[in-house]
Amino acid sequence: MKYRKFDLKKDKEAVFRILNECGWVHDKKKDKYLNKFLPAANTLVIDVNGEAEVMANSSIGTIRYQDEKLKLSAITGLTASLIARKQGFAGRLTAIRLALDAEKGAEVGALCIFDQGYYNKLGFGNGNYEQIVCITPATLNINRKTKIPVRLTEKDYKKIHKNRVERMPAHCAVTLPEYATQAELGEENKNMGFGYFDEKGNLTHHLWLYGKGKEQGPLWVSWMAYQNLDQLMDLLAFLKSFEEQFLMIKMIEPSFINMQDFIERPYLMRGMTQKSEHQNKISSSAYWQLRILNLQKCMKKTHLNCEDFSFNLQLSDPIGKYIPEDIKWKGIAGDYVISLGKNSSTKKGKQKDLPALKASVNAFTRMWFGIMPASSLVYSDGIEAPQDLLKKLDKAFLLPEAHVDWGF
Ligand SMILES: CC(C)(COP(=O)(O)OP(=O)(O)OC[C@H]1O[C@@H](n2cnc3c(N)ncnc32)[C@H](O)[C@@H]1OP(=O)(O)O)[C@@H](O)C(=O)NCCC(=O)NCCS
């Protein structure tokens, strides 16, 4: 199985066919994902009978760990054509993309899943639940006058991207490169943006909506960017101002708030709209996953509110078997001594008299990001450690809620 770099000129027909067969791309000439995103996004392909039939790509961005920023490899696309499935090509190409990015300095990997289990084989573990909010804007309880925003279009992509990069940062917040924002703006006839500028002409807060042209909605909030919660209230007040016309707005719950706090009679609305096209509800799903790619660098950027303690870590990593000989990085399995506290660190090897934690990289990443406590991972992910160590780990990783706050 040979992989190579994607070449837009040479591979356009073949990669269009892959993307078209999986239903993602319909317009070979104009599609932004094919023509703009793929050439920028470290795209790799695998040939079958001389033509590209499998494609995987990544975008190098950042992911926050509390106040620190880590270098991220986000898998921003993976598809196999209908003749190249179930051959192991797609999984191996994803592993190769991650390995190459890890060699170039990526510290963490992230992706969104089509289902649970597939990427676990590459060392990924579930992220936090995200709340998917479906509401009628008339039920928004926001007591402020709507400020008139400015319309944003594709031409404003640089300002839009800058505002996203500078948004109020949640633990785990992801930022991808400018080309990703540009591609995510989508087609003009289905998307629209609105934002607010300060006196100096900087875009301070904005939102991007999908669903233009539908009289009563639904409108999907693709994203919101705000630098403080007061600005978030402006954006919610703006959405409320649609209440006389639109029956449904859908969004991923914004970081730092519970949307239910801003909804009038949420249970009454849920009951009254049950089984309707405009059903009001808040549902949850853990649709993104993470894994550590560089343990030393991740530990170095870990600052915890706990007393200093150390333990031996016996870490397993399933990714190695998917990576070919020519790539040196084969995952991070091994024995480590981990020291946690205000300043954390790790070194290779074992130290006598220290308690031991046995974990997969999948589970260790989940614990480290504060997604699930160590004591729960014993049952969900099979980690093993003495009770005393589990208790210390549970306390050490009491971190803010993790939200990637970026679609990819
Ligand atoms: C996702 C996709 C790339 C997978 O392609 P594929 O050719 O089936 O993948 P691979 O050959 O690498 O892996 C197949 C193996 O994964 C296993 N698998 C698939 N889904 C799984 C899951 N949820 N949990 C565990 N294993 C899973 C299969 O059973 C198969 O196992 P086997 O090798 O033991 O038979 C392909 O279905 C596709 O292009 N889908 C459309 C686009 C898409 O959804 N992309 C992913 C975006 S996140």
What are 236-286's pLDDT values in tens digits?
Answer: 999 999 999 999 999 999 999 999 999 999 999 999 999 999 999 999 999
Q: Tell whether ligand 1 has an atom less than 6 A from the beta carbon of residue 112.
A: yes
Does residue 208 sit in the same domain as residue 322? no
* pLDDT score of 1: 82
- Residue 79 Cα to ligand 1 midpoint, Å, equals 9
| Ranges of H-type helices in 290-360 | 295-300
Q: Tell whether ligand 1 has an atom less than 6 A from the beta carbon of residue 78.
A: yes
Closest ligand 1 atom number to CA of residue 85: 7
Question: 240 has which bridge partners?
Answer: none
Does residue 279 sit in the same domain as residue 375? no
Q: Given 256, 285, 314, which residue is the final one in a domain?
A: 285
Of 29-38, 124-133, 292-301, the range with the lowest mean pLDDT is: 29-38
Q: How far apart are CA 202 and CA 161, in angstroms?
A: 12
Closest ligand 1 atom number to CA of residue 112: 48
* Residue nearest (by alpha carbon) to ligand 1 atom 24: 117
CB distance 252 to 112 below 8 Å: no
Does residue 199 sit in the same domain as residue 335? no
Number of structural domains found in the chain? 3
Q: Given 110, 126, 142, which residue is the final one in a domain?
A: 126
Q: Tell me: the pLDDT tens digits for 351-393? A: 999 999 999 999 999 999 999 999 999 999 999 999 999 999 9
Coil, strand or helix: which one is 295? helix
- Residue 89 Cα to ligand 1 midpoint, Å, equals 9
User: Which phi and psi (to 5°) does residue 169 adopt?
Assistant: -90, 125
Q: Is the pTM of this model over 0.85?
A: yes
Does residue 20 sit in the same domain as residue 89? yes
Answer whether residue 290 is part of any domain: no
Count of helices and strands (H, E) across the chain: 12, 19
Q: Whole domain around residue 41: which residue ranges?
A: 3-126
Q: Tell whether ligand 1 has an atom less than 6 A from the beta carbon of residue 86.
A: yes
The mean predicted confidence, pLDDT, of the chain is 97
The percent of residues in the chain predicted with pLDDT above 70, rounded, is 100
Q: Tell whether ligand 1 has an atom less than 6 A from the beta carbon of residue 85.
A: yes
Coil, strand or helix: which one is 307? coil
User: Closest Cα partner for 289 from 98, 132, 109?
Assistant: 109
* Max CA distance (Å), the chain: 69
Q: How far apart are CA 166 and CA 162, in angstroms?
A: 6
Answer whether residue 407 is part of any domain: no
- Residue 287 Cα to ligand 1 midpoint, Å, equals 16
Instruction: Pick the more confident residue, 148 or 214.
Output: 148
Q: How far apart are CA 111 and CA 33, in angstroms?
A: 17
* Residue nearest (by alpha carbon) to ligand 1 atom 4: 90
Q: Which of 17, 57, 81, 85 to mutate to test the pocket of ligand 1 (most atoms within 8 A of CB)?
A: 85
Does residue 137 sit in the same domain as residue 238? yes
Q: How far apart are CA 296 and CA 315, in angstroms?
A: 13
Q: Given 104, 126, 148, which residue is the final one in a domain?
A: 126
Does residue 366 sit in the same domain as residue 275? no
CB distance 75 to 97 below 8 Å: yes
Coil, strand or helix: which one is 141? coil
Answer whether residue 402 is part of any domain: no
* Residue nearest (by alpha carbon) to ligand 1 atom 8: 86
Does residue 246 sit in the same domain as residue 314? no
Q: Which residues lie below 8 Å from residue 33, measured CB to CB, with a gap of 6+? A: 19, 24, 25, 77, 183
CB distance 316 to 330 below 8 Å: no
Q: Tell me: the pLDDT tens digits for 305-335? A: 999 999 999 999 999 999 999 999 999 999 9
CATH of residue 103's domain is 3.40.630.30
Coil, strand or helix: which one is 253? coil
Burial class (CB in 10 A: 0-12, 13-18, 19+), 124: buried
> Mean pLDDT throughout 98-105?
98
Does residue 97 sit in the same domain as residue 228? no
Does residue 363 sit in the same domain as residue 218? no
CB distance 312 to 350 below 8 Å: yes
pLDDT at 30 over 90: no
Does residue 308 sit in the same domain as residue 371? yes
> Mean pLDDT throughout 88-117?
98
Does residue 277 sit in the same domain as residue 136? yes
